[in-house]
């Protein structure tokens, strides 16, 4: 939720952010006008209540002769107070509605859309094979790792089974990520995957992309597309203690996405699916620490990609491609040989105070005054990584070399065709 103080003091900054995102800057002026109307309505309601309180004292001190006229006036004031409160409530509702329509203020991200990212760096060497490389699904099926046919039979398109060593490959990857997170001071969590509407909305996932979310109307619950949602809601309506530094959590969960609007895109294999597993980092910190924490999350993601021995690049996402909660986001994209391009494996977002403001998550500063916390998130491992691991580490005979870091979990150095 946009900070009204920032809006009043720096409306041009918010307008520029809207333009960078490709959103409507006139919403800023609508919200400013609504905020002014709300403030006047609050002032009017306070004045009428003050008059009512003063009249109440007069009635208590009045003589029997004066009391009837004063009581009549009290009834009139009671009606005015009710009317003023209704006007105030309506004005506050309008402000909140407009606040929810404005995305987080972009901080440092380039302008533009999906193709307007800025390349930060490229790491590792792109493999060049002296044979025709197979894609991840062909490899996964021949190695007995992935079964999409039975996944479709049981659950429909874009569902799958990870079988045998495929299951160990994912579990090993997630376990390695969990270990690295714990070593870095994160508390491992296995959170709920069903959340209430106010939690989903509070994290910013019920805006423009709400059609991506699975909803269970009989229970009025949503299936999460990332454990970020449940971790953000963990401290809802709380004053958290940040005196010893940021609170750092790592959530291991299954995730669910409808993939609405992506028909015909990446339907082969497990690149874009409806259910997957993920280890997501989530941080609560003071706003002034958010930029440093963002860099820490990005470095941890890069460390994990290095452990997978994958060539990848880091990109600075353009404002028009940011989610509503993110002020800035970096993606790490691994090379996928059979597609001849980089594909996203991880992202990390600085959400500043946007989510915490919606969820009423605060901390006490050095003066004991409550302030709104900042939140950040970043993916440390997910099912999609198997795509890049299989394709980049394949050999001419159809086998796949297991990255050294995963061998203790998988129990093999090489995966061979069955």
Please report, in range form, the residues annotated as the binding site for ATP.
Answer: 257-259, 273, 344-347
**Active site (annotated) includes residue 49:** no
User: 13, 6 in Cβ contact below 8 A?
Assistant: yes
Give the residue ranges of the annotated binding site.
226-228, 257-259, 273, 280, 344-347, 379
Give the residue ranges of the annotated binding site for L-serine.
226-228, 280, 379
Q: What is the dihedral of CA 156, 157, 158, 163, to 10 degrees?
A: 60
Q: Which of 196, 272, 343, 364 is catalytic?
A: 272
302: tokens are: 């890069």
Element (H, E) at 141: helix 136-142
Residue whose tokens read 């490389």: 133
Whole-angstrom distance, CA of residue 202 vs CA of residue 357: 8
Q: Which of 344, 360, 364, 399 is catalytic?
A: 344
Q: What is the CA radius of gyration of the chain?
A: 27
Cβ partners under 8 Å of residue 191, min gap 6: 227, 230, 231, 234, 251, 253
**Active site (annotated) includes residue 347:** yes
Contacts by 81-88 with C-beta closer than 8 Å and gap 24+? 81/45, 81/48, 81/49, 81/52, 84/41, 84/44, 84/45, 84/48, 84/49, 85/45, 87/41, 87/44, 87/45, 88/38, 88/41, 88/42, 88/44, 88/45
**Active site (annotated) includes residue 349:** no
Whole-angstrom distance, CA of residue 186 vs CA of residue 94: 39
Whole-angstrom distance, CA of residue 35 vs CA of residue 94: 9
Q: Which of 257, 328, 358, 362 is catalytic?
A: 257
Nearest to 74 by CA among 40, 51, 105, 47: 51
Q: Which of 301, 347, 357, 362 is catalytic?
A: 347
Residue 105 burial (C-beta neighbours within 10 Å; 0-12, 13-18, 19+): buried
**Active site (annotated) includes residue 272:** yes
106: tokens are: 């972009």
Q: Which of 253, 325, 384, 391 is catalytic?
A: 384
Residue 349: count of CB within 10 angstroms of its CB:
25
Residues catalogued as catalytic: 257, 272, 344, 347, 384
């Amino acid at each position: 939720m946009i900070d009204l103080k920032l809006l009043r003091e720096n409306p041009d900054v918010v307008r520029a952010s809207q333009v960078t995102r490709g959103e409507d800057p006139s919403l800023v002026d609508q919200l400013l006008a609504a905020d002014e109307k709300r403030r006047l309505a609050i002032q009017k309601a306070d004045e009428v209540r003050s008059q009512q309180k003063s009249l109440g004292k007069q009635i208590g001190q009045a003589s029997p002769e004066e009391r009837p006229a004063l009581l009549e006036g009290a009834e009139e004031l009671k009606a005015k107070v009710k009317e003023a409160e209704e006007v105030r409530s309506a004005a506050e509702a309008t402000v909140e509605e407009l606040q929810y329509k404005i995305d987080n203020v972009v901080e440092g991200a380039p302008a533009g859309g999906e193709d307007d990212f800025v390349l930060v760096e490229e790491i590792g060497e792109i493999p060049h094979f002296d044979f025709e490389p197979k894609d991840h699904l062909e490899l996964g099926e021949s190695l007995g790792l992935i079964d999409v046919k039975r996944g479709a039979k049981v659950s429909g398109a874009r569902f799958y089974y990870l079988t045998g060593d495929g299951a160990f490959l994912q579990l090993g990857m997630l376990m390695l990520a969990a270990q690295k997170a714990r070593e870095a001071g994160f508390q491992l969590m296995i959170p709920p995957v069903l959340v209430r509407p106010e939690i989903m909305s509070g994290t910013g996932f019920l805006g423009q992309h709400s059609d991506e979310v699975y909803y269970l109307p009989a229970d009025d619950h949503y299936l999460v597309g990332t454990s970020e949602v449940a971790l953000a809601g963990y401290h809802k309506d709380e004053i958290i203690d940040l005196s010893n530094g940021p609170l750092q959590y790592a959530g291991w969960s299954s995730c669910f996405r409808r993939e609405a609007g992506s028909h015909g895109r990446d339907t082969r294999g497990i690149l874009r699916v409806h259910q997957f597993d993920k280890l997501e980092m989530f941080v609560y910190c003071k706003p002034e620490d958010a930029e440093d924490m963002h860099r820490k999350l990005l470095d941890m993601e890069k460390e994990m990609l290095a452990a997978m021995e994958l060539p990848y690049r880091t990109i600075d996402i353009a404002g028009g491609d940011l989610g509503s909660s993110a002020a800035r986001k970096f993606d790490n994209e691994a090379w996928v040989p059979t597609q001849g391009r980089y594909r996203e494996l991880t992202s990390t977002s600085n959400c500043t105070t946007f989510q915490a403001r919606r969820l009423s998550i605060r901390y006490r500063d050095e003066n004991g005054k409550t302030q709104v916390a900042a939140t950040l998130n970043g993916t440390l491992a997910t099912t999609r990584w198997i795509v890049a691991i299989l394709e980049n580490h394949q050999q001419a005979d159809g086998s796949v070399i297991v990255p050294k870091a995963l061998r203790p979990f998988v129990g093999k150095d090489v995966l061979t065709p069955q």
